[in-house]
Each structure stands twice: as structure tokens, then as C-alpha cells.
Amino acid sequence: MTNSSLAITAHAQWANMVANVTAAACGFDREQLFKEAGIPLSAWDSVNRVNQEELTALWKLAQQLTGRVDLGLDVLDHFHFRTIGSLAFKMMVAKTFRQSILEALDQISLVSEVWKFSLTEERGLGVMRFRLATPNLEVTHYSYDAFICACVRVLQDCFPSNTYKYAEIWFAHPDFGLKEKYESKLNARCRFNCKEYALCLDGKLLDLPLQSADPQLYESLDTSLDHQVRTLNSQSAIIEKAILKLIDEGVAPSRHTVSAKLEIGERTLLRRLKDENLTYKEVQEQVFEKLTLRRLQRGEAMESIAEKLGYSDAKSLGKMLKRRTGLGIRQLRQST
């Protein structure tokens, strides 16, 4: 496991919270939940950022088993502002609410590969929009609802005064006949069938000084968050992402192709990994192991997987997995 994988990030904590929400809705423990969703139990232990496909799989499973269309609202009961760590406290001690929001959007953008954020002022409202960073990414409406609930809960936890609350919340999905429930839970006017998702505040709130402002503590937390971002954006994490992108593009990853993808020389790549006490082989095999287990679970042939990963044959890939896991191909299929 790489150093970046060991880093406790807000995204990893968010994923675990989603797992808790869906498990509770289904009446499962975590092991049963992952098994039913077709996700190896150890999958989240081996990557620095949880795959959005897996979160979507959990939401879909919960929908299938419960028939509920409002599962995302359950996040209100499971989410706590400490889930986002130092960022929550930095939001609380910012000078103004505008600074608090912009700081949150900036930091979340750094750790999220799913959402893009913006803050604009329209018709007397401060409008926080969030869109998919990758348009073809499969994300259910549950993920949108869950994120909205988390934002509502952060405001409730960090700013208990009723002054700071959302005036309107926009949903791109229908109300499912549950508009009153949404508005009651979220304590805001909810508009459905909109063109986009957004959280809206009274524009007058944006530049109000925060009573909890603490410039000295704000600067201290700034240093802490910068360290977390540097860890998340370590060279090993960047290489993992490059390997995954190459596979998605149908290009066999190697030191040469990864270096080219990152627009650096192979020696530079190896030197940077050495600074993290890692080798290219270690990082690549970790990614290959996780991908292979996932694709075996889906019933994909070992030969096909080996070809996509740049192995000469299935036997060569099997040897690597045997060395890393102690299990043969047949045992790996059974274990997934």
C-alpha cells in the first residue's frame, strides 16, 4: 500500500459514510453489503481515492433492496462536520461567510474527482453550483442528494445560528411526490426538475462577519490543509491516476507510457517515487491487483484482463497476483 493510500482523506471518509448509510438502509453489515454490491471487501484499503463506480453500486443496491427514492436524505443522520476534518474548523474561523464558502469549495475541489464547483450571485442569491467533472460518469441522484445533505449538515453543525441556512435548494430530479419531506428535512425551499443542482443562500449573508472568526487559527489550519493536499497529490497518487487513465484509453501502462502521460522522463518518475520510498513496480502492481479483482468479479476473462494491463498472457498476470496475494486464479475468482 502506498503512502498516499494510507492518508486519511475527506473523500475516503465520505465513502465510508456512504457505506454506513447504505448498509443501514439494507439492514446489512459492511461485509455483506460489499459482497452483494460486487465489491471486494479490501478494495477501499488499496487505493487513495475510492472509485465512484463503487459508490454508485452501493446506492443502486440500496435502491434495489429498499425501493426508496429518498435514500440520500439518510446522510443527514450519519454525516458529521468532523467528516471533513480540518476544513470544517477552517470554515468556522473564516472572516466572512463568503470566505468560508470559497475555502470549502476550493478544498473539496482539490480532493474530489467527481464534482466541479462555482459560486455566483444571481437575483439576490449566492448560488453554489456543483456539476460532474466528467460528464459521462455514472452518478445516481442519490449522490447529489447525499452531497446536498452533507452541505446542509455542515451549516447546521458549524453555524448553529438560524441566520445561516439555505434559502433554496435546486434539484435536477423530480420530487417523487416527496417535496414536503425534502423541505422538512433540509429546512429550505426545494425546487425540483431544475436544469442543475445548486444550493442557494441569501446574498446578504455572504459578506457578514462571522462571530467565530479567528485569523490566527485560520492561518494555522491553512498550513494543516496544505499538508493534507500535498499528501493527496503525492507522486505515487499521480502515477496511480495516470495508470488508470491509460487503461481506460486502451493503452498498456508501462514506465514509458506513464512517463509520457505525465510529460516527464522515466528517470524523473523513478527519482520522485524513490523520494517516497516506492518503486514503479510496487505502485503499478497495486493498481493491477485491484483492477483484476474487480474485473474477475464481473466475470471478465483473465486473458482479456491481462491484455488490457499489458501482460503477455494470463499466466504472467496470474503469477504476479499469486506473489502478491498467495492465491491462484481459481481461488481469486472464488474470493471475489
220 and 174 housed in the same domain = yes
**Do residues 211 and 261 share a domain?**
no
Average model confidence (pLDDT) across the chain:
81
- Closest C-alpha among 151, 231, 247 to residue 199: 151
Q: Answer whether 203's CB lies under 8 Å from 227's CB.
A: no
Q: Is the pLDDT of residue 266 over 70?
A: yes
In order of 16, 63, 107, 160, 330, the CA distances from 52 in angstroms are: 12, 17, 19, 32, 28
Residues 331 and 186 in one domain: no
The range of the structural domain enclosing residue 101 comes to: 3-228
Check whether residue 212 and residue 244 sit in a common domain: no
Q: Burial, 177: exposed, middle or buried (Cβ in 10 Å; 0-12, 13-18, 19+)?
A: exposed
Tell me, yes or no, whether 240 and 217 share the same domain.
no
Flag the least confident range among 2-6, 47-51, 145-149.
2-6
The pLDDT score that the predictor gives to residue 108 is: 66
Residues 28 and 123 in one domain: yes
Q: Which of 185, 209, 228 is the last residue of a domain?
A: 228
Whether residue 125 sits in one domain with residue 24: yes
Identity (one letter) of the amino acid at 308? Answer: K
Q: What is the CATH number of the domain that holds 133?
A: 3.90.1520
| Domain edge (last residue) among 200, 228, 256 | 228
192 and 317, same structural domain?
no
Tell me: the pLDDT tens digits for 289-324? 888 887 887 778 899 888 888 888 999 999 998 888
Number of domains present in the structure of the chain: 2
Q: Are residues 263 and 204 in the same domain?
A: no
Highest-scoring range by mean pLDDT, 21-30, 91-100, 166-175, 246-255: 166-175
To the question of pTM greater than 0.85 for the whole model, the response is no
- DSSP 8-class letter at 167: S
How confident is the model over 184-194, as pLDDT tens digits?
999 999 999 99
Looking up cell 475516503 gives 12
Per-residue pLDDT of 193-237, as tens digits, reads 999 999 999 988 888 888 887 777 777 766 655 555 555 556 777
In this predicted structure, the answer to whether residue 6 has a pLDDT above a threshold of 50 is no
* Final residue in a domain of this structure, among 228, 261, 287: 228
Answer yes or no: do 242 and 172 share one domain.
no
Please indicate, yes or no, whether residues 133 and 58 belong to a single structural domain of this protein: yes
Q: Are residues 81 and 163 in the same domain?
A: yes
What's the rounded mean pLDDT across residues 272-284?
85
Residue-wise pLDDT for 155-183, tens only, equals: 887 777 767 789 999 999 999 999 999 99
Q: What is the mean pLDDT of residues 249-266?
A: 88
pLDDT band at 90 (very low <50, low <70, confident <90, very high): confident
pLDDT greater at residue 82 or residue 311: 311
Report the CATH number that the domain containing residue 295 is assigned in CATH.
1.10.10.60
